[in-house]
Chain A
Amino acid sequence: MAWAESIVGALKKHNVRFLNYVPDTKIEKILQAARQLGGFEALPLTREEEGIGVVCGQSLGGGRGVMLCPTAGLGNSINALASLSIPYRIPCPIIIGVRGDLGEFNPAQVAMGQATQDILDALRIPTYSITREDEAEKITDGALRICYASEGPVAILVTNEVAGWKEGKAKT
């Protein structure tokens, strides 16, 4: 997937080394591209909130990590963002695989997917969407720049427009 390779290329350009994740089909594409390029360490988490703590710890140590998760996982991360990354001003880039949007088959993904932008806006977290393959590099690069400049969380949404939607079993 060219969009995933572009994202990973931008991560490398900014010396991001740690890919902390809760999996998702889009996130798996990014992890595959990272394995191919090399030079990253992937850490699977039990829950996304943990990942915010881990990324912040890596940042405090002078390392660079990102949190990779689906939209549902953003819901699991909110208080860690609000009580750690934001008040302490710790860079925390979050790459979010969108669910509950265009083409969604799973009824239980929709509410969180549709609320994602409003939740990020309510916390004043700068948010950028990748909707086309040819802008994936620029958006990831630009989002990381503002993240390290502002020293706080920044979200990158990998949309279904660019990455497709998950095929699942329809309701019976």
Chain B
Amino acid sequence: MIDRTEASKYLVGKLKDELVVTSLGNEKYDLRSGGERDRNFYNWNAMGMASSIGLGLAMARPELKVIVYDGDGSLLMNLGALATIALREPKNLIHIVWDNRSYAMTGGQPTATAYHTDLAAMARGAGYPKVERTETLEAFKSAADRALTEPGPWFIHCPMQEKPVKGGGLPSPTAIKHRFMDAIGARH
């Protein structure tokens, strides 16, 4: 199983001008602990929306790679996004899903992936052209390296064991928005 904190540190170390959109789960704190970036968009509570925000960003900014930092619970709430992303096929989208098989922020109740659901198979079935399932840190590094350089859309499914995350707390929603937009020179 991959250690999400270690994997996040590796990924952040590789990033240059890429945009990252997080789900509302604990993965956002691991991403942030890997090093604060103006080009990270943190999600306070928009359930399931990370993948859809990422698609919109990828459409508006085709010259930039967009990474969605998603979780199993969040993706399960918005499974239709898999079909929509696959039909639009944004070559600059990398969809990373941290699968701890539980709702970690509400007491660890099991999600469907604790039973029979295979998210990588669902992404493949939806029509993502590049799907990887990474069980080790080395496999994650190799998939992330390829995704950062080769056209997608990519789906990287990362089964993991949840553990307590350090940190917590986020800037206000509007502070997150303005910092993010300023960093990429975007105006409404």
Contacts and interface: CB of A to CB of B under 8 A. Distances in A.
Interface of A: 18, 20, 41, 43-47, 49-63, 65, 79-80, 83-84, 87-91, 148, 151
10 contacts: A18-B60, A41-B59, A47-B78, A49-B52, A50-B84, A52-B49, A53-B49, A57-B53, A57-B54, A65-B59
Contacts of B60: 18, 57-63, 65
Contacts of A44: 84, 87
Contacts of A52: 49, 52
Contacts of A59: 56, 60, 188
Interface in B146-188: 173-174, 176-177, 180-181, 184-188
Interface stretch (B8-16, B25-33, B38-46, B117-125): B38-46
B21 interface: yes
A46 B84 contact: yes
Interface string B126-137: 000000000000
A50 B176 contact: no
Interface of B: 21, 41, 43-61, 78, 80-81, 83-84, 87-88, 173-174, 176-177, 180-181, 184-188
Contacts of A148: 188
Contact of B84 (A45, A56, A90): A45
B44 A53 contact: no
What are the 3 A-B residue pairs with the smallest beta carbon separation, nearest first? A57-B56, A53-B52, A46-B80
Greatest chain B CB density within 10 A among A51, A54, A84, A89 is at A54
B51 A60 contact: no
Contacts of A53: 46, 48-53, 55-56, 78, 81
Contact of B177 (A51, A62, A88): A88
